[in-house]
């Protein structure tokens, strides 16, 4: 069995750019998207904003078609300004049943939500 270090090293990056990527909209206001499904281990979450502040809520949840995460869904918050970013690196990968993102601030300021997951079949 591969070690956690080798899994983290071989994780696969992903990116969501809400301003250019078609996404669902929650309550007619917030862009939202299912980023990861199927029970994956997340190693890194990052939010970068080009021209203004941004805020994203990330939920351990799989969209059921409502685009409304339940109130009790575990979530992480990333918040950044135009001159910095917010990064969460997990020393031990965190298991998510699904990774669902909601951009609650920063639409129009070129935000990017970056994430990295360990593939279901590790690549060595």
Q: Helix, strand, coil % (nearest 5) of the chain?
A: 5, 50, 45
- pLDDT, average across residues 25-41: 84
CA atoms of 103 and 33, how far apart (whole Å): 9
Q: Judge contact between 124 and 117, C-beta under 8 A.
A: no
Q: What integer pLDDT is reported at residue 112 of this predicted model?
A: 93
Tell me the pLDDT tens digit for each residue of 74-115: 788 999 987 789 999 988 888 888 899 999 999 888 899 999
Q: Judge contact between 37 and 115, C-beta under 8 A.
A: no
pLDDT band at 1 (very low <50, low <70, confident <90, very high): very low
Is residue 87 helix, strand or coil?
strand
Q: What integer pLDDT is reported at residue 29 of this predicted model?
A: 83
- Tell me the domains of the chain and their CATH numbers: 4-118 (2.60.120)
Nearest one of 43, 62, 14, 59 to 118, comparing CA atoms? 43
């Amino acid at each position: 069995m591969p070690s956690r270090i080798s899994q983290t090293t071989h994780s696969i990056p992903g990116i969501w750019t809400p301003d250019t990527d078609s996404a669902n909209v929650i309550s007619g206001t917030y862009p939202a998207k299912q980023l990861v499904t199927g029970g994956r281990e997340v190693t890194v979450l990052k939010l970068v904003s080009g021209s203004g502040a941004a805020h994203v809520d990330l939920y351990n949840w799989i969209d059921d078609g409502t685009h409304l995460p339940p109130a009790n869904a575990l979530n992480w918050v990333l918040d950044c300004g135009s001159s910095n970013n917010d990064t969460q690196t997990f020393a031990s990968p965190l298991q998510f049943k699904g990774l669902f993102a909601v951009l609650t601030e920063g639409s129009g300021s070129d935000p990017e939500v970056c994430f990295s997951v360990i593939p279901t079949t590790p690549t060595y």
